[in-house]
Amino acid sequence: MGRRELMNLGKKILNFSIGMLILLLVWQIIKIIGDYPEALLPSPVNVAHTIIEMIVDGTLLVHLQVSLGRFAAGYLLAIIPAVILGMLLGRMPRIWQIVDPIIQVLRPVSPIAWSPFIVLWFGIGNMPAIVIIFIAAFFPVLLTTVAGVKKVDKNYLKIAENMEMNRLELMVKIIFPAAFPSIVSGLHLALGSAWIFLVAGEMVGAQSGLGFLIVDARNTLNLSGVLAGIIFIGLLGFILDRLISLFERWVGSHWGISS
Partner 1 sequence: MMAEQMISVSGVTKTFTNNGKPTNVLDQVSFDMKKGEIVTLLGKSGCGKSTLLHIVGGFLKAEEGTVYLDNQLVQRPTKKCVTLFQQHNLLPWRSVLKNVGLGLEGENIPEDEKKVRVMDAIKLVGLEQYLHQFPHELSGGMQQRVAIARAFAMQPDVILMDEPFAALDTFNRYHLQDELLRIQTQMKTTILIVTHDIDEAVYLSDRVLIMSSHPGRIFKELEIQQTKPRDRTQGDFLYYRKKILEQFELSGTNKAPEYMI
Residue 158 contacts partner 1 per CB under 8 A: yes
To partner 1, the closest distance from the beta carbon of 159 in angstroms equals 7
Stretch that binds partner 1, among 17-25, 133-141, 160-168, 192-200 (CB under 8 A): 160-168
Instruction: State yes or no: residue 178 binds partner 1 (CB under 8 A).
Output: yes
How near is the Cβ of 79 to partner 1 at its closest, in Å?
20
Report if residue 155 touches partner 1, rule: CB under 8 A.
yes
From candidates 49, 91, 150, 173, binder to partner 1 by CB under 8 A: 173
CA–CA separation, 23 and 17 (whole Å): 10
Burial of 183 (0-12, 13-18, 19+ CB in 10 A): buried
Only one of the segments 13-21, 28-36, 80-88, 152-160 lies at the binding site for partner 1 (rule: CB under 8 A); that segment is 152-160
As to burial, measured by CB atoms within 10 angstroms (0-12 exposed, 13-18 middle, 19+ buried), residue 253 is: exposed
Which range of residues in 39-47, 62-70, 77-85, 161-169 is near partner 1 by CB under 8 A?
Answer: 161-169
Contacts of 112 (CB under 8 A, 6+ apart): 132, 197, 200, 204
Question: In this chain, which of 112, 165, 170, 189 binds partner 1, going by CB under 8 A?
Answer: 165
Interface contacts to partner 1, rule CB under 8 A: 153, 155-156, 158-159, 161-165, 169, 173-174, 177-178, 180, 254-256
